[in-house]
Structure 1
């Protein structure tokens, strides 16, 4: 079962990754170009020559974006399939399509939307180059904390279901997740280094594009993965057991 789910998850991730690349090319790359133009203006005002491009912007925005997005999609698709195999039937009691969409929605919220609230994405020239490593580690720490807290909430919800009922247990553990995540956000340091004269439309346009791209990716992943799993089962709406996908 796990191997079959993994293959389907990676295939779904590939499709979702390519879809993500198209969305980012249309909405995100213009913001990147605008940010680079700002950086060139700042360099020109300081009498500095623009840095040499090792890879042209055209290649970065097309082939580079497509390959990176495809690899990103395959990796996350595989992880999603493994998580689906771990939670299906125990924590997730839904048919394939609904279950895949629910898991994708949780993946978007837990691994990106919540960390994004603390450490939103920034375009080039909006931050200092020598802090990239620190900002990346802080974002990953926020992602890890969100995932661990969400998993703990899921386990606690399962233990409370018999006593409180599904709705009350879900509400209580969701509230607990929000509170603990808020505490973690308050404890982690804030990174605020965007220049005062950086164009606000570029900054927020880039952030909206990245958030929208992630939403598009996770939606496509959930739809395609759910369809592939349901097709393997052969009966729409049917729940799968451990032997169905072998």
Structure 2
């Protein structure tokens, strides 16, 4: 693939990421922010009963965080991840099977959602404010990104193994072996890596569940929208439709006129 095509895919990926970010922003504002507000209210209520808690200076207001701050973070993330995904798509196109450009975009989005977010999320799910010990944030962050890196590497290894086994086992059984191997390796990582459970006993289980579902919904919206939009744009670039010919009636009339 030449550099001009890669550049065009990069631009389209960033545009698709922006579109995905807009929809994810809507989901985050409608589903995520009310749960964040409820978690902050819980934290403030418990802090008010503490003897050693002083008044904290609010550097950035909550209203600004939930509007302009949220929009900036989600949209910048959408554009940057869209560009990164477009570069990965340029490398993967034609190397993962005989898929159309649109199907490759959908496949890449699904695998990336699973490896980059769902697998780490199931081991170390997102927590709202007031959940977690501030002194362990470094450990929790390290473990989360370690799980993410392992998941991505295992997904790449599963694809490589599947492609190498395809000539002997066929595409179907090679895919089954790759998926099973990925699942077993992820299960071992779940067992070997330490777990973290710092949810207060009196914290609302319903609120915690709703927050985690909303976090998952944001990522699903982001990756699904990107896959659909970028797949459409990539298809138009890489497999454009042939130019339409004149209508059959007009062609026949012109042929008859020239014959006269």
In structure 1, the residue matched to 2:120 is 115
Q: CA deviation at 1:58?
A: 1.0
Query: Secondary structure at 1:165's aligned position in 2?
Result: helix
Residue 244 of structure 1 aligns with which residue? none
Task: Give the TM-score normalised by the residue count of structure 2.
Answer: 0.88
Structure whose alpha-carbon radius of gyration is higher: 2
Q: Which of 218, 226, 244 in structure 2 is aligned with 1:221? A: 226
Query: Residues 165 and 37 from structure 1, CA distance in 2 versus in 1: closer, same or farther, beyond 3 angstroms?
Result: same
Where in structure 2 are there 5+ consecutive unaligned residues?
243-260
Shift of 1:96: 2.0
- Structure 1, unaligned stretches of length 5 or more? 237-246
1:6: Cα distance to partner? 1.1
Q: What residue in structure 2 maps to residue 141 of structure 1?
A: 146
- Contact kept, 8 Å, 1:9 with 1:225, in 2: the verdict is yes
> Does the CA contact (< 8 Å) of 1:114 and 1:146 recur in 2?
yes
Within a 5 Å distance, the mapping from 1:47-62 to structure 2 comes to 47=51, 48-62=53-67
Indicate conservation of the 8 Å contact 1:40/1:50, yes or no. Answer: no
Residue of structure 2 in register with 1:27 after alignment: 31
Does 2:174 align with 1:169? Answer: yes
Equivalent of 1:235, from 227, 235, 241?
A: 241
Contact residue 124 and residue 196 of structure 2 kept, 8 A:
yes
Are 1:204 and 2:204 counterparts? no
1:188 counterpart (186, 193, 214): 193
Report the alpha carbon displacement of residue 42 of structure 1 after superposing the two structures with TM.
Answer: 0.4
Partner of 2:76: 71
TM-score, with normalisation over the residues of structure 1?
0.93
Residue aligning to 2:248: none
Measure how far apart 1:50 and its partner are.
4.8
Is 1:44 the equivalent of 2:48?
yes
Which residue is equivalent to 1:3? Answer: 7
Give how far 1:92 is off: 3.7
Please give the alpha-carbon distance, in whole angstroms, between the structure 2 residues aligned to 1:131 and 1:19. Answer: 33
Distance 2:211 2:27 in 1: 12
Question: How far apart in 2 are the matches of 1:74 and 1:218?
Answer: 12
Q: How many positions carry a matched residue from both structures?
A: 236
Aligned match for 1:97, one of 102, 116, 137: 102
Distance 1:195 1:168 in 2: 46
Instruction: Tell me, yes or no, if structure 1 residue 80 matches structure 2 residue 80.
Output: no
Q: Tell me, in whole angstroms, the C-alpha distance in 2 between the residues paired with 1:78 and 1:28.
A: 25
SS state of the match for residue 197, structure 1?
coil
